[in-house]
Amino acid sequence: MKPIILINFKTYESGAGHKALEIAKIADRIAKEKNVNIILAVQAADIRMIADVVSIPVYAQHVDPIEPGSHTGWTLAEDIKEAGAEGTLINHSEHRLEIFQIEKAIDIVKEEGMKTVACTPDAEVAEAISVFEPDIIAVEPPELIAGNVSVSQARPELITQAIEMVRKANKNIPVLVGAGVKTKEDVSKALELGASGVLLASGVMKSDDPEKEILELIEGLDV
Amino acid sequence: MKPIILINFKTYESGAGHKALEIAKIADRIAKEKNVNIILAVQAADIRMIADVVSIPVYAQHVDPIEPGSHTGWTLAEDIKEAGAEGTLINHSEHRLEIFQIEKAIDIVKEEGMKTVACTPDAEVAEAISVFEPDIIAVEPPELIAGNVSVSQARPELITQAIEMVRKANKNIPVLVGAGVKTKEDVSKALELGASGVLLASGVMKSDDPEKEILELIEGLDV
Amino acid sequence: MKPIILINFKTYESGAGHKALEIAKIADRIAKEKNVNIILAVQAADIRMIADVVSIPVYAQHVDPIEPGSHTGWTLAEDIKEAGAEGTLINHSEHRLEIFQIEKAIDIVKEEGMKTVACTPDAEVAEAISVFEPDIIAVEPPELIAGNVSVSQARPELITQAIEMVRKANKNIPVLVGAGVKTKEDVSKALELGASGVLLASGVMKSDDPEKEILELIEGLDV
Amino acid sequence: MKPIILINFKTYESGAGHKALEIAKIADRIAKEKNVNIILAVQAADIRMIADVVSIPVYAQHVDPIEPGSHTGWTLAEDIKEAGAEGTLINHSEHRLEIFQIEKAIDIVKEEGMKTVACTPDAEVAEAISVFEPDIIAVEPPELIAGNVSVSQARPELITQAIEMVRKANKNIPVLVGAGVKTKEDVSKALELGASGVLLASGVMKSDDPEKEILELIEGLDV
């Protein structure tokens, strides 16, 4: 598998509506030109618009552990799938689920044929969550999210541990690392430590020049 | 104001993706032909697709009390607005908010120039919520939602009380009634009791013939 | 009604177990000596121990909107009542409830013959919550809680507004003010602005000398 | 370890205050007379009163993942410990936690030297939760809780699977089974399947004769 750069648009101003579409197009173009693997996690209301235009994978940022039915205002897996989502984040630190809901959400999303990126704050939760066999596990220490120090610089041991613990429980789940990722060194260090890629948000979305920032990150892929 | 028929698509199978679009088109056509006021509350990922096609108002089913920022997977007012939502339900019985969040969500949605339909289970909460001055208040006793008896038949006094209590607190907020609404009698009874319209979901969305059901409801408008 | 000083023990180290009991005894002694009205809001597991020893009112810090039944680990009004609680805080900013749950919790607690102190962050929520007729409303702007500036100094207009809005909706509900209360001036200013007392926590619980602090606050009662 | 019978008092009317104390005394007497291992999980406000009187272990029904501080109305591990709790349920199906909170709550409770009984609805969550090394894991399929069919009769394979999955992840965690346990056959079947005991609530707490019911359950221990 080629290393992944997963860009979480969150609900940043730059990550909503036509502004989101602009950044999505830039990422799409770079991914093709450089032949790299970029995934975009966008707001539910923007999935269809963005997925219609880009050819790289568009993911949702969240899905609720629900089947079709009476669930006003919640996010249904089969609806975001039809809108064009190829996968979804689950249990992001800004949108945590109960443990049983994580199991259920992963099951439902998989049945729809979509990919699941289960987020976790530390190595132990990564091991626990690996029992539910998400397609990818993303480790993001909450205290570093949106900060200026990247997890690969500040807590490299966390990445190594998380990968080891996931391996111990279940060999085949790739691990992304996130929190504070901004430079090519952050990316190359993460890969060097055994990660399959990075998950980032503010590094790109709050950048004055998202294109330049994405190009910078991609340089880190040449390990 | 013309009486309102607000159809909540929920996350019913019939209310997702292209099936949702079909029902939306039917409602749109009937609204024009019969010159009636129909509002559709659809899933976030379907707002843009449906709002692009119909000319009746499309609402969201929920909005989170957040400003742009780090809120992965939550629903941002300005994003659904750009997608085409003209308003949103708030505090539906299947998606309740804390009291302070209701105040904040209503403020944020209004700043975006969208309409707010605040839902409430009873007359007292209707009065309390009217303090926050939503554009519309919808009273739905949870025990009757998705049931076979409509609130206008089963608990007409609740509608009268709710309207009185809202009037007491703030004269100008229209009250919709919901829960179990299915027949023209349900609609006409609601209007007769002083309501400004009805809010319904399963009556249309789980009907074998949504078109016929919408036409039936509309007959109740001729009071 | 004599002005109220309501001390919230929270889950401070000084507010748990035998340390809580010590502060409770001090408050009890001072209340008797000075003939003032002090209420203590303590942790559920400490209610019985403290209520058995002091004669001033002991309140719970929270109650859940539940009837007897299958609710493992939640707080039942009739259980804390039997333990000795004469009242309870509801909807504290650190323990918010949905609007419908506030209505239900207040009803349940009143049926048990206990007093309810409904907490609110601002004047509008105070007005909304007054619809449910709690015995007391406590206004605490969250941004000032546990801070060094008191609400009576920093935002006196909030107190005046809150009292006005409660009066507008329902004449007879006393209003306490909280957040940052520490000095006799904070107390006297609050009373001067029309409040029926103060609600505080860190001012006493994190003080090196809680007795001295309580005596200081009481001086503020002599308006 | 002797097989465990853990009785969850929930917030049943019979499980609050002096009624709770009566059942606790009965359980305590039987435990001594029959030399069996009975644990009582009681409401926070009753822990101290019951722990002062019985010599069998008294547990809390829940603890929040908090350290001492500003957490009004939440349950602090060190406070219930001082009140006499020797352990606590965590993540009961009626009181679920986010996965990260489960990790944190278990860590905090263990630091206090108390026992943790982590509850789980199924075998997969049991395996996941075993990563956090609670002292005991209790498997309770929610659909059978408070029902008339016991898990050992209705879904024996769930028990076997859960035990296997916990063993796979971590050899030394005893597994209790719950949901619908009422008869000696339920108990003996559970032990036969490899469980270390049972967790039950309504079987005893809603019985007309709790003493007779506890004696019945104990007969099941003689495998």
Q: What is the predicted ipTM?
A: 0.94
- Reference D102, options D110, D86, D90, D87; nearest CA is D90
Q: Is the pLDDT at C156 greater than 70, yes or no?
A: yes
C1 Cβ contact partners less than 8 Å away, ≥ 6 residues apart: C37, C174, C196
Mutate to test the interface with D, among C8, C48, C72 (most CBs of D within 10 A): C72
C13 vs A193, more confident = C13
Whether B94 contacts chain C with CB within 8 A: no
Q: Using CB atoms, which residue from D16, D78, D94 is nearest to C78?
A: D16
Contact D99/A102, CB-based, under 8 Å? yes
Q: Is the pLDDT at D152 greater than 90, yes or no?
A: no
Whether C43 contacts chain D with CB within 8 A: yes
Residue C56: both structure tokens together = 């001033």
Q: Are C171 and C155 spatial neighbours (Cβ–Cβ below 8 Å)? A: no
Q: Is the pLDDT at A11 greater than 70, yes or no?
A: yes
Question: Å from B82 to nearest chain A CA?
Answer: 6
Please, what sign has the CA dihedral across residues D32, D36, D42, D47? positive
The residue count of chain C comes to 223
Whether D183 contacts chain C with CB within 8 A: no
Q: Using CB atoms, which residue from C8, C18, C68 is nearest to D11?
A: C68
Count A/D contacts: CB-CB distance under 8 Å: 63
Mean pLDDT of C118-127: 92
Q: Are A79 and A138 spatial neighbours (Cβ–Cβ below 8 Å)? A: no
Report the neighbours of A using a cutoff of 3 or more CB pairs below 8 angstroms: B, D
Contact C79/D45, CB-based, under 8 Å? yes
Q: Using CB atoms, which residue from B103, B121, B169 is nearest to C100?
A: B121
Q: Is the pLDDT at B151 greater than 80, yes or no?
A: no
Local confidence band at D171 (pLDDT 50, 70, 90 cut-offs): low
What residue of C is the nearest CA neighbor of D84?
C45
List pLDDT tens digits, range A134-183: 999 999 887 766 667 777 787 888 888 888 888 887 668 999 998 788 89
Q: Is the pLDDT at A223 greater than 60, yes or no?
A: no
Instruction: Decide: B and C in contact? Rule: 3+ Cβ pairs under 8 Å.
Output: yes
C49 vs A161, more confident = C49
Contact C62/D76, CB-based, under 8 Å? no
DSSP string, D2-40: --EEEEE-TB-GGGSHHHHHHHHHHHHHHHHHHT-EEEE
Catalytic residues of D: 92, 140
Whether D97 contacts chain A with CB within 8 A: yes
- Per residue, the 3-state secondary structure of A164-220, as one string, reads HHHHHHCCCCCEEEECCCCCHHHHHHHHHCCCCEEEECHHHHCCCCHHHHHHHHHHC
The dihedrals phi and psi of D105, each to the nearest 5 degrees, come to -60, -45
CB neighbours (10 Å) of residue B10? Answer: 28
User: What is chain A's mean pLDDT, rounded?
Assistant: 92
Q: Using CB atoms, which residue from C10, C41, C72 is nearest to D95?
A: C72
Q: Is the pLDDT at C164 greater than 90, yes or no?
A: no
What residue of C is the nearest CA neighbor of D97?
C73
| Rounded Cα gap, residues D183 and D216, in angstroms | 6
Contact A11/B62, CB-based, under 8 Å? no
Q: Is the pLDDT at D211 greater than 60, yes or no?
A: yes
Residue tagged 């944190």 (tokens): D104
Q: Are A171 and A141 spatial neighbours (Cβ–Cβ below 8 Å)? A: no
Residues of B in contact with C96 (CB under 8 A): 98-100
The DSSP H or E segment spanning C103 is helix C99-111
Mean pLDDT of A110-117: 98
| Rounded Cα gap, residues D85 and D57, in angstroms | 7
Residues of B in contact with A97 (CB under 8 A): none
Whether B167 contacts chain C with CB within 8 A: no
Q: Is the pLDDT at C3 greater than 90, yes or no?
A: yes
> DSSP code of A119?
E
**Residue D186, class by beta-carbon neighbours within 10 Å (0-12 exposed, 13-18 middle, 19+ buried)?**
buried
The dihedrals phi and psi of D75, each to the nearest 5 degrees, come to -100, 120
Residues of A in contact with D127 (CB under 8 A): 131
Q: Is the pLDDT at C223 greater than 60, yes or no?
A: no
Whether C52 contacts chain B with CB within 8 A: no
Q: Are A160 and A193 spatial neighbours (Cβ–Cβ below 8 Å)? A: yes
C185 Cβ contact partners less than 8 Å away, ≥ 6 residues apart: C152, C153, C220
**Residue D171, class by beta-carbon neighbours within 10 Å (0-12 exposed, 13-18 middle, 19+ buried)?**
exposed
Mean pLDDT of C207-219: 96
Question: Å from D96 to nearest chain C CA?
Answer: 10
B180 Cβ contact partners less than 8 Å away, ≥ 6 residues apart: B144, B145, B146, B147, B148, B149, B150, B151, B153, B154, B186, B203
Q: Using CB atoms, which residue from D129, D165, D169 is nearest to A99?
A: D129
Mutate to test the interface with B, among C97, C100, C137 (most CBs of B within 10 A): C100
Contact A45/B78, CB-based, under 8 Å? no
Which region among A164-178, B31-45, C100-114, D64-78 has the lowest average model confidence (pLDDT)?
A: A164-178
User: What is chain B's mean pLDDT, rounded?
Assistant: 92
End-to-end CA distance of chain B: 15
pLDDT of residue B66: 97
Mutate to test the interface with A, among D93, D99, D120, D165 (most CBs of A within 10 A): D99
Helices (H) and strands (E) in chain B, counts: 10, 8
Whether B121 contacts chain C with CB within 8 A: yes
Mean pLDDT of D193-201: 92
Enumerate the β-bridge partners of residue B118: B90, B137
The angle that helices B99-111 and C99-111 make with each other, rounded to 10 degrees, is 150
Report the neighbours of D using a cutoff of 3 or more CB pairs below 8 angstroms: A, C
Residues of A in contact with D98 (CB under 8 A): 96-99
Residue tagged 């229209």 (tokens): B174
Contact D49/C44, CB-based, under 8 Å? no
- Reference B96, options B119, B115, B122, B123; nearest CA is B119
Enumerate the β-bridge partners of residue D139: D120, D177
Mean pLDDT of B110-136: 94
B60 Cβ contact partners less than 8 Å away, ≥ 6 residues apart: A45, A73, B41, B42, B44, B47, B75, B80, B85, B87, B88, B89
Q: Residue A177 to residues A155, A161, B220: CA-CA distances in angstroms?
A: 11, 12, 58
Whether C42 contacts chain D with CB within 8 A: no
| Rounded Cα gap, residues B140 and B151, in angstroms | 8
Mean pLDDT of A177-199: 90
Q: Is the pLDDT at C145 greater than 70, yes or no?
A: no
The count of C-alpha atoms lying within 13 angstroms of the C-alpha of A204, restricted to the half-sphere facing its C-beta, is 30
List pLDDT tens digits, range B21-74: 999 999 999 999 999 999 999 999 999 999 999 999 999 999 999 999 999 999
Which region among A174-188, B208-222, D24-38 has the lowest average model confidence (pLDDT)?
A: A174-188
Q: Point out the catalytic residue in the list C62, C127, C140, C213.
A: C140
Range with the largest mean pLDDT of C167-171, D143-147, D178-182: D178-182
Contact D124/A102, CB-based, under 8 Å? no
The residue count of chain D comes to 223
List pLDDT tens digits, range A16-29: 999 999 999 999 99
What residue of C is the nearest CA neighbor of D61?
C73
Distance of CA A156 to the CA centre of its chain: 19
pLDDT of residue D146: 65
- Reference D211, options D3, D2, D69, D7; nearest CA is D7
Which region among A215-219, B120-124, C22-26, D164-168 has the lowest average model confidence (pLDDT)?
A: D164-168
Residue D175: both structure tokens together = 């597994």
Question: Å from C53 to nearest chain B CA?
Answer: 36
Count A/B contacts: CB-CB distance under 8 Å: 155
The DSSP H or E segment spanning C142 is none
| Rounded Cα gap, residues B146 and B137, in angstroms | 19
Strand, helix or coil for residue C223 = coil
What residue of A is the nearest CA neighbor of B44?
A45
End-to-end CA distance of chain D: 14
Whether C133 contacts chain B with CB within 8 A: no
Question: Å from B199 to nearest chain A CA?
Answer: 13
Residues of A in contact with B45 (CB under 8 A): 44-45, 47-48, 60, 75, 79-80, 82-83, 85
pLDDT of residue C29: 97
Instruction: Decide: A and D in contact? Rule: 3+ Cβ pairs under 8 Å.
Output: yes
pLDDT of residue A57: 98
Residue D63: both structure tokens together = 């603890």
Residues of D in contact with A96 (CB under 8 A): 98-100
Whether C80 contacts chain D with CB within 8 A: yes
The DSSP H or E segment spanning A60 is strand A58-60
Which region among A1-5, A31-35, C153-157 has the lowest average model confidence (pLDDT)?
A: C153-157
Whether C44 contacts chain D with CB within 8 A: yes
Instruction: Decide: B and D in contact? Rule: 3+ Cβ pairs under 8 Å.
Output: no
The angle that helices A99-111 and D123-130 make with each other, rounded to 10 degrees, is 120
The DSSP H or E segment spanning B108 is helix B99-111
Distance of CA B190 to the CA centre of its chain: 15
Q: What percent of chain B has pLDDT over 70?
A: 97
pLDDT of residue C97: 94
DSSP string, B151-215: HHHH-HHHHHHHHHHHHHH-TT--EEEESS--SHHHHHHHHHTT-SEEEESHHHHT-S-HHHHHH
Q: Is the pLDDT at A128 greater than 80, yes or no?
A: yes
Residue A7: both structure tokens together = 């860009």
Interface subset of B 12-41, CB within 8 angstroms of A: 12-13, 16-18, 41
Whether A171 contacts chain B with CB within 8 A: no
pLDDT of residue C43: 98
Local confidence band at A80 (pLDDT 50, 70, 90 cut-offs): very high
pLDDT of residue A191: 92
Whether C75 contacts chain D with CB within 8 A: yes
Which region among B81-95, B145-159, D194-208 has the lowest average model confidence (pLDDT)?
A: B145-159
DSSP β-ladder status, B4-8 and B197-200: parallel
Catalytic residues of B: 92, 140
Residues of A in contact with B61 (CB under 8 A): 72-73
| Rounded Cα gap, residues A185 and B132, in angstroms | 50
